[in-house]
Structure formats: structure tokens, C-alpha cells
Chains A and B, each alone.
Chain A
Amino acid sequence: MDIALKKSLELTAQKARIGIIKSIHSAKAGHPGGSLSCVDILTYLYFAKMNIDPKNPQKADRDRFVLSKGHAAPALYAVLAERGFFDPELLTTLRQIGSILQGHPDMKNIPGVDMSTGSLGQGISAAVGMALSAKHFGDDFKVYTVLGDGEIEEGQVWEAAMFAANKNLSNLTAFVDYNNLQIDGTIEEVNSAMPIDKKFAAFNWHTIIIDGHDFEQIEAALNEAESIDKPVAIIAKTIKGKGVSYMENAVNWHGAAPNDELAAQALDEIYARLAEME
């Protein structure tokens, strides 16, 4: 991997983390844990992978992204803002009346959001539909989606997985944000979908397991995906709450906003890391 690109992505991901904390803190609600776990993947996609144009968010041949785990909206918004789709100042309007930044992604009003999501299990079907549309109508764009590891307990995910492989949608890549925590506990405690990779493999997907915080591995997996004539599932092992010490691997930070003091602590940690990097 290009060293300069890697450094730049690492900086960007830290800035996006600042956006996540600030937006959720100002909203006094939101989902920091699962936002922080998938933000590196989103950063790579929007800054190093996808064919997109922040000045023309609706351009027809753009690659599509569907945040199937829609509750990680703060991560998507922070990355979109950082990428220039809208003013980063808007991040602190998250979840407020009158803001375009709804609690879950809204494609009608947010520049750069390709699909409205939030009800788990539904985003992947929409991503499959986009990939099918591209293949059917001869368009070249690719479709990326990020699923939660808890989300894949939804049966619709497997309906979509079955169809995507059956129709050989090789233009579709799905990440599973495998942070091993959902609201009611660990994945194993609640309703284990493990082994996740073998399940996707059984549905005739190509599977790759990576560290979802390592840009080199994210890049390698996406490059591998392009050489495969099947839909690809990238099982990204992640840490819920990654980058904020007291949120890491802590289930209580799934859907809670930090108070002023804890938000300041989180931001101090991230700014310190940024300073080290720069």
C-alpha cells in the first residue's frame, strides 16, 4: 500500500471519529460503538475506492454505497462531510428537528446517501437490487454495503445473499462489521450467526476475513474482490467503539451518547492521536 495514502487515510479516519463523537454528543443520542467500528471501512471506500463526485452526488455512473447497518449513520455522515458532500458544520445538527441528518440515513435529503436504511436486513437487498440493475442495464458501477454482525440475524440478509450469488452479482461487495457485540450482549450470547464466513461461503459467496481497522488489509480485500466472479463478503473483525478507550468492546456504548465530560475525554484521546500522526 502507498505509504502516503495510508497515512492520509489514517488521519481522515481520526477526523471522522471526531465528527462521530461531536455529532452524537450534540444530538444526545445515537450509536457511537458501531459507528466507530466501521468508520475505517467507510473511510477507505469514500477516500480510496469509490467512483464518486461530491460536487455531483447523483452522477449516474457513480459507485453505490448502502449502509445496511443504518444506525452507524454518524460514521457515514462524518465521512461524507469530510469528503465534501456537505458542510461538516451540519454534523452537530444530527437528529435535530429541521436537520437533513436524520437518525438513520435518508437518501432524499442527504447529499451522498444512496439508500435510506435503518431497519436492519433491508439495506443489503437494496444493494443487491442496485447491483442487479447495473448488470441488467449494462452499467459499470460497483455496489458496496456494510452489514452489522448482529444484523445478519435478520432472515432477509440470507434471502439477499442467496439471490446475489444465484444471479452472480460480482459487482457487489458486502462488509460484515464483525465487532461481536449487539444491544443485548455478545453475538454468541444473543443468537450466534457464527461462523459468519462459512455461512456466506455456503451461500456461494467468496469470503475474505480481515482486520477492519487495517487499511492495508481493507485495500487488499477490495482488490481481491475485484478479481472474483462472485459476490464477495469481507468479514471485517473490528472493535466496537474503536478509538475511544472507554467505549472499546463495551456493549453499553451501542446506543448511548457521551455526556460533556466523556465527550471531551473522547475528543482529547482522538486529538492526541491526530497530533502524534501529524
Chain B
Amino acid sequence: MAEVKNVATRVGFGTALVELGKKRDDFIVMDADLAAATQTGMFKKAFPERFYDCGIAEQNMVGIAAGIAATGKKVICSSFAMFAAGRAFEQIRNSVGYPHLNVIIAATHAGISVGEDGATHQCNEDIALMRTIPGMTIINPADETEAKKAVYAAMEHDGPIYMRFGRLAVPVVFDDDYKFEIGKGVELREGNDVTIIATGLMVKEALEAHDLLKAEGINARVINMATIKPLDTEIVLKAAKETGAIVTAEEHSVIGGLGSAVSEYLSEVYPTPVVKLGVNDEFGHSGPAVKLLDEFGLRAVNIAEKVKKAISLKK
């Protein structure tokens, strides 16, 4: 078996920034005293004169980013998901979202897999918050490859983008030939009994769940939904019609994230059982990330259980 490389999506983000920096100089990168953690530090080291540290003041950082964008320039601002989507929510809504400015908000350390820092830093609500902002695009890459490609795509995009990256090193799922397109889900495994729609680090778990289920004679389609908003409704509707049951898997609250987006869409156009796997309505706590993922039930075996529940709900 080939050795699987483990890399955090935030590293893909930092790597992509440096690559972009080599090609163009028409953008600014900002951080709020977390450059070493978010990986904007890689860009800071390579291009110190194009990097601005706002200090521990995320609300101001988002406002500054809005101002830069209002002058027609591209800007990427980065912090932890908790302090970007959470603390600076209203700045993102009013200063970036309402004027529909070209600001990329790169939020790292999203989800429970922050690990040891515990509940105050484990943001399981960011997708829910960002989804409520009209015109916001939300991208949650599954691995390093997708993270890099998503950053390149975001730089060409018109309008605000929220990008979600993780702290934990996770297996690289995609090779360099992988095609990423904003707003498009990707079918990774065929199957007609049920569909697993996964995002972020749950994509790897969904692929494992596919194998587990196959051994039991269940053919589960697997879709990687990196863009949560705008949702690729075409691929969701096709999956609902062809497989009749859906399981969503995300490292985010079951309230307001991918599962909600899929449910909200299908309930109005093609009611289909949707079983959501995510962080339940509770706070996280400290511990090693891999153990927390086990404890909070964000693993392939948990997806497989939800799949059986979804199939049982099929009419």
C-alpha cells in the first residue's frame, strides 16, 4: 500500500499564497497575530513587504480588507475560524458582504480538530454563520491539493469568499490532476443505494465508509462538496433521485452547515431522507484532535451507521 501523505489544509493554503506571490504582486495578505499558525507566515517570510499584520484585532482586519478591496485591489485576510467568522461576523456581513467586495477570508483551525485548545477555539458554527450572508461563497477543501486549487480559484473569483481550513494534518486524497471548480460537487465513488455528501476532512472518512459499506453489499455514492455555498444543487438532486437517501458528513455543527444546506434544498424540491453527521448541538473540549474525532463520532464507521439509518428511511 502506497504511503499516504498527511498535510493540513492550512499548509496547502500557505503554500498556494507563496506560489501566487511569485506570479503576481497585485494583492495583499493580512493576518491578526496568528501568521505562524494560519500559515500566512509562509507568505510573510517570502514577501514581507506585501504582508500586513493587524495584531489581535480581527474586526479591524476585516474592515481594512474591505477598504483595500474597495480600491479595486485583491486582499486575503486570515485568522482562526472562531475569530474570523465568529468575532468579525458583523464586519464580514456589513463591510464585506453588503458591498459584495472581493475579500478572501481565509479561516483556519476550523472545527473540533483544533484539538487541545478546546471549546473556545473549536469553531463548529462558521459555515452556519457565513451561509446567512447574501452573496457569500463558502469553500471547505478536503485536502492539501484541493486547498491549493481552491485558493487559486478564489483569486479569480468576483465577490467575497470564506475559505475554511483545518489545523490537523489529514491524508492527501487528490492528486495534481484533480479538477476543482467553485460551486461544483465532485462524485468520487459511484453507487446507487445511498449517497454520502461530505466536506472537508470528512471526505476521506466518506471514502473509507464507502469501502466498509461495500463489504456489506451497500453501494454508496460519495460526493465531495467543497463549495457549500452556492450549493451544487444539480449534483444533489441527481443523487436524491438516483439513490433515494442521503447522508451528509461534516466537521461542523449539524445546525446550519452542509447538512442543513442539503436538507433545506431537497425538502422543497424533492423530499428525500437526509441524515446529518456532524458535531451535535454541544461544545467541544480539549484533547488530541484524532481522539476528538473518534469521540465526537466523525469517522467512517459513524458515517456507515448513518447510511443504514438513511436507507431505513427510504420509502
Interfacial residues, chain A to chain B (CB-CB below 8 A): 60, 64, 66, 106-108, 114-116, 118-119, 121-122, 124-134, 136-137, 139, 155-156, 159-160, 162-163, 166-167
Contact = CB atoms under 8 A, between A and B. Distances in A.
B99 interface: yes
Contacts of A127: 67
A163 B90 contact: no
**Chain B interface residue bracket vs A:** 20 to 34
A162 B52 contact: no
B60 A125 contact: yes
Contacts of B66: 115, 122, 125-126, 129
B55 to A, nearest CB: 7
Contact of B99 (A116, A132, A160): A116
Interface in B20-57: 28, 50, 52, 54-55, 57
A130 B67 contact: yes
A135 B71 CA distance: 12
B67 A163 contact: no
B160 to A, nearest CB: 13
B57 A128 contact: no
- What 8 A-B pairs have minimum CB-CB distances, sorted nearest first? A129-B67, A125-B63, A159-B60, A129-B64, A126-B67, A159-B57, A133-B71, A116-B99
A129 B62 CA distance: 9
Contact of B95 (A114, A126, A132, A139): A126
A125 B55 CA distance: 14
A134 B72 CA distance: 11
A134 B64 CA distance: 12
Contacts of B64: 125-126, 128-129, 132, 160, 163
Contacts of A124: 63
Contacts of A155: 59
A60 B72 CA distance: 9
A13 B73 CA distance: 34
Given A132-B52, A136-B28, A159-B59, A107 B70 contact: yes
Nearest to A68: B63
Contact of B63 (A106, A128, A162, A167): A128
A118 B57 CA distance: 20
Nearest to A128: B64
Given A119-B94, A133-B28, A162 B55 contact: yes
B55 A156 contact: no
A127 B70 CA distance: 10
B98 interface: yes
Interface of B: 28, 50, 52, 54-55, 57, 59-60, 62-73, 75, 90-91, 94-95, 98-100
A170 to B, nearest CB: 16
B73 A116 contact: no
Nearest to A157: B60
Contact of A133 (B50, B63, B73, B90): B73
B28 A163 contact: no
A122 B94 contact: yes
A108 B99 contact: yes
A64 B63 contact: no
Contacts of B90: 119, 122
23 contacts: A66-B67, A106-B99, A115-B66, A121-B59, A122-B63, A125-B63, A125-B64, A126-B64, A126-B67, A129-B63, A129-B65, A129-B69, A129-B75, A130-B67, A130-B68, A130-B71, A155-B59, A156-B59, A156-B63, A156-B91, A159-B54, A159-B57, A163-B64
Contacts of A139: 71
A64 B71 contact: yes
A163 B70 CA distance: 18
A60 to B, nearest CB: 7
A137 B59 contact: no
Given A126-B64, A130-B67, A156-B60, 6 more contacts: A122-B63, A125-B59, A125-B91, A128-B60, A137-B73, A159-B60
A160 B63 contact: yes
A127 B99 CA distance: 14
Given A136-B28, A163-B54, A163-B64, A130 B94 contact: no
A193 B63 CA distance: 22
A156 B32 CA distance: 14
A132 B68 contact: yes
Given A128-B60, A132-B52, A163-B57, A122 B73 contact: no
Nearest to B54: A163
A73 to B, nearest CB: 14
Q: Which of B50, B65, B69, B95 has the most CB of A within 10 A?
A: B95
